[in-house]
Amino acid sequence: MNSHTPTEKQVMPPANFAVLGGGKIAYVRPLKSEDAKEMFPGLPPVAPGLQLWALLGADGTPIMLADTREAVLMNARENDLETVSIH
């Protein structure tokens, strides 16, 4: 029998995300330049308010940051990564 209520969300442990797709799945996520510094600590100063695109591993590990979605998708293809989009 299931011990959680119907409205309770199930959370997958972070370790499960790390092995999702055998390390071959990444996701594409839009983000504002103000938020990029948290994900990409070595990022040089960037003007606020810019729309950027991040390519992240299934476990959330930052892979790449670009100013176009096409650039991160191309990088994923070059590295044999299957991409999914986060809305």
Alpha-carbon distance of 83 to 5, in angstroms, equals 32
Positive or negative torsion for Cα 78, 84, 85, 86: negative
User: Which residue reads 């299934």 in tokens?
Assistant: 58
Is the pLDDT confidence value at 4 over 60? no
pTM: 0.70
Residue 67 binned pLDDT confidence (cut-offs 50, 70, 90): very high
Question: Which sequence spans correspond to the domains of the chain?
Answer: 24-85
- Of residues 87 and 72, more confidently modeled: 72
Is the pLDDT confidence value at 23 over 70? no
**pLDDT of amino acid 49:** 94
Alpha-carbon distance of 4 to 23, in angstroms, equals 30
What are the start-end ranges of the H helices in the chain? 14-19, 33-39, 69-78
